[in-house]
A and B are shown apart, each in its own frame.
Chain A
Amino acid sequence: MFNTKLRNILLVIVVIIISLIMVNVLHQEDHYNLKLEELRHKYALKEVPSVVHSKLPELQRVFKTPQEVTEACLSCHTETHKEVMASSHWNWERVAYVEGRGISSAGKKNVMNNFCLGTTSNQKSCAKCHIGYGMNDNQFDFNNARNVDCMVCHDNSDEYLKGASMAGYPDRTVNLEKVAQSVGAPKRSNCGSCHFFSGGGNNVKHGDLESAMLSCSREVDVHMGANGMNMDCVACHTAKNHQMLGKLYSVSTDNTNRSTCEQCHTSTPHLRDVINRHGSRVSCQACHIPVYAKVNSTKMAWRWSDAGKLKDGKPYEEDDSLGNHKYMSIKGSFTWARNVKPDYMWFNGTADQYLLGDTIQSVPVQMNTLHGSHNDRHSKIIPVKIHVGDQIYDKVYHRLVQPKLYGEAEGDSAFWKDFKWDEAAKAGMKTSGLPYSGQYGFVKTEMYWPVNHMVSPKSEAVGCAECHTRNNGRLAKLTGFYLPGRDQNKTLDFVGYWMFILALIAVFGHAIVRISMNIAKNKYEKQIINYDEDKPIG
């Protein structure tokens, strides 16, 4: 009696539990992510400036030089120059501890790249993206507050423009009065004036930062989309005391002061735990940036060895069908790509760069090395753009050559005017204070650009099976660790498969023997019966 009751109760409990689980499984409604909703609310409210600069009497005047504007700024913001002059935007270098180097400083001053190679001896041109005035050469005075360019970041009139090869001075057409009166918090166009056009053109370097993001859809960038949250760069890249949050590992080394997705989204942003768990070894970007260079092309390869060809003694350019430069006499040949699937690498937040004067360790030369590995628990898989190329190096000293590219006029030994590598190398290395053997060649290079922007809406995120697949998955090149769905123990699978097949064969064989023996026996019995039936007649 008691047993039966207990059994029935147990049965009911089991049935209830199973049906509850099934209701949960079959209930496929998209849950409401409150975390995301709170963020949307937080960033929907745009800040209203507490001061309108056009109303300030200090700015109701004529400015003859940009330095006068800076002085006017400092007359109220009396200590702000100290903050700015402590930033990497101003110093073009950061001091950090680097594994293998010790305490070293790296930045645009001494880091080389495989685009326009390096700033040394080319400052006048490169300083278009320095927040200062008058960086003609490597003698720039980094302690002169008058030369801080406040306007390039704070102009809200879209009027300001730095001149080409003017050592960081504004273009002569700029109306300084108008700009000074319309300063405010940096907009996308301020950041973009340098960061969209680095490398000498739109989207050349980054691939995920370009002028299309001034006004784009959510599909291009879910944060910045005009039909979405319409956020500015500084919403994430906050700047307490003018120290920008965030860094890029083409010029940065240590794992500090990074701008991360987690700073808003936390490390458990998903409703499904299995996806949150991926966050221990997979960066947010790896899944949420399925492709980069979504609108305009980005440069994927730059071969300097092709540079210097002339037509009728004159430099020329060739474009491809999309209007991208295919060849330029001054720069060499290029490969461009659009809607690029990123490469993937392990990265732990520390990096090293090829600094001017370093000896070449391996070919292709790693312009920057992203540290990380699958067996380093601080590493995550990140998406990267790999920019490849070749560039001039010293065959005797085994180091990359810093050539003098930019020059005012012909005969100044600048490559962009004279097209003579030897003289450009000699001049550039002299300015750099490094020996040059006179024997140059071209060496293959690779540079790694972590892809962090152009985050797609969640419906576009990389699906599970794009990595968890036997062949040609996105992570096919990352080996050495076990990825479910991609990897298998080949011996076990082989042995297991054949054991299963053998079991099937054994079972069928056994069954066939059983059935045939049975049939034979039945026939034998039938014959006997027939014989018995025949007997009386016979």
Chain B
Amino acid sequence: MQKIYIYKRFERFWHWVQASLIIFLALTGFEVHGAYKIFGFEKAVEFHRVASWMLIGLIIFAIFWHLTTGEWRQYIPTTKQLKEQVIYYLSGIFKGEHHPTEKTGLSKLNPLQRIVYLGFKLVLVPITIISGILYMLYKTFDQNNLIVIEDYPLSSIAFWHTLGAILLMIFLVVHVYMTTTGKTPTSNIKAMITGYEELNDEQEEGTVENDKNQETK
């Protein structure tokens, strides 16, 4: 057993800011949708708009980070041991069995996580953000101060945006629960806060010493 530096500083920052923005966007978004009243429609719209630009900005940074650090490779999907991973969550976990896949600094996502997170990044978030941008720019002004109206019906744009939001909320529920399935119920969350997690130490790279060296270089 060894403490491994698994989540980098930007990664943690990105994760938690994105999480809070998505929760805040859901809170204001479903109010705009008419589900309940917290801030009042006008404030909810304004907050939603500001938070949405912040999320878009953050995601641009995150894409840059993934590409430059090569971390995007973590999300390459694989079917190897995917079935075992699913079976583990459906039965093995109750019997106290060990995870079928090993978490390492090089491969910190299990096959199920890889597929779900890739879907989150390539399908779910793009659907929500693109429909959101269309929603925001649905009616706009051109240079001559005239008004340009999209022919694409707002009801369809709203459909995709609402669908994305609902799926994101379902993701949120399942994701938060799944974080409790680590070594101890809080070990995964602690790792996402501190960056360090106790892992089996048979790996080549990513040990505390190595990482500290990298940091101070």
Q: A: which residues have CB within 8 A of B?
A: 1, 3-4, 7, 10-11, 14, 17-18, 21, 24-25, 266-268, 274, 276-281, 377, 463-465, 468-470, 481-482, 484-489, 492-493, 496-497, 499-500, 503-504, 506-507, 510-511, 513-514, 517-518, 521
Contacts and interface: CB of A to CB of B under 8 A. Distances in A.
B162 interface: yes
A386 B58 CA distance: 51
Contacts of B54: 18, 21
B38 to A, nearest CB: 12
A489 B158 contact: yes
Interface string B161-193: 011001001100110010010000000000000
Contacts of B58: 14
Contacts of B217: 1, 3-4
Contacts of A485: 32-34, 41
Contacts of B177: 507, 510-511
B9 A507 contact: no
B166 A499 contact: yes
Contact of A465 (B41, B89, B214): B41
B76 interface: no
Nearest to B166: A496
Contacts of A266: 145
Contact of A517 (B57, B94, B146, B215): B94
A518 B93 CA distance: 10
A206 B82 CA distance: 73
A517 to B, nearest CB: 5
Interface string B121-145: 0000000000000000001110001
A25 B166 CA distance: 26
Interface in B12-55: 13, 32-34, 40-42, 45-47, 49-50, 53-54
A503 B175 CA distance: 11
Interface stretch (B106-114, B149-157, B197-205): B149-157
A93 B46 CA distance: 49
B32 A280 contact: no
Contacts of A278: 139
A281 B138 CA distance: 12
Contacts of A518: 96
A1 B215 CA distance: 8
A496 B163 contact: yes
10 contacts: A3-B217, A7-B9, A267-B147, A280-B149, A470-B34, A489-B155, A496-B162, A504-B173, A506-B174, A511-B180
Contacts, number: 120
Contacts of A484: 32-33, 154, 158
Contacts of A497: 166
B72 interface: no
Contacts of B214: 3
Contact of A268 (B34, B42, B93, B141): B141
A-B pairs with lowest CB-CB distance, top 10 = A496-B166, A280-B147, A482-B155, A465-B41, A507-B177, A464-B42, A482-B154, A470-B34, A517-B94, A503-B170
B141 A277 contact: yes
A464 B41 contact: yes
B166 A280 contact: no
B50 A492 contact: no
Contacts of A14: 13, 58, 61
Nearest to A502: B170
B154 A492 contact: no
Contacts of B215: 4
Contacts of B166: 492, 496-497, 499-500
A475 to B, nearest CB: 13
A491 to B, nearest CB: 10
Nearest to A465: B41
Contacts of A503: 170, 173-174
Given A484-B32, A485-B32, A500-B166, A463 B42 contact: yes
Nearest to B40: A465
A506 B176 CA distance: 13
Contacts of B158: 482, 484, 487, 489
Nearest to A513: B94
B132 to A, nearest CB: 12
Contacts of A499: 166, 170
A316 to B, nearest CB: 51
Contacts of B46: 25, 274
Nearest to B161: A484
Nearest to B68: A6
Given A7-B10, A468-B41, A503-B170, A489 B145 contact: no
A338 B214 CA distance: 77
Given A7-B10, A469-B34, A486-B34, A21 B50 contact: yes
B9 A464 contact: no
A347 B53 CA distance: 35
Nearest to B178: A507
Contacts of B45: 274, 464
B170 A500 contact: yes
A493 B139 contact: no
Contacts of B42: 463-465
Given A25-B50, A464-B45, A267 B145 contact: yes
